[in-house]
Amino acid sequence: MDRHALASPVVLAGLTLENRLVSAPMAGVSDRPFRRLVREAGAA
């Protein structure tokens, strides 16, 4: 896969995601600093 393909938008169930990088739910694992880092990296 082209490295830039991960940065291209994708549509899932009518919802357009800005890129193809997603983080699975991590209940009890993530903390405030981690959430801040992923938000700064473009996570919703």
User: Does the pTM of the predicted model rise above 0.85?
Assistant: no
41: closest CA among 11, 18, 25? Answer: 18
Domain that holds residue 9: 3-40
**Alpha helix segments (H runs only) across the chain:** 32-40
Report whether 9 contacts 17 (CB < 8 A): yes
pLDDT of residue 13: 94
- DSSP assignment string, 1-33: --GGGGGS-EEETTEEESSS------TTT--HH
Q: What is the number of structural domains in the chain?
A: 1
10-12 and 15-17 beta bridge pairing: antiparallel
**Per-residue pLDDT tens for 1-44?**
566 777 889 898 999 988 888 777 777 777 888 888 888 888 76
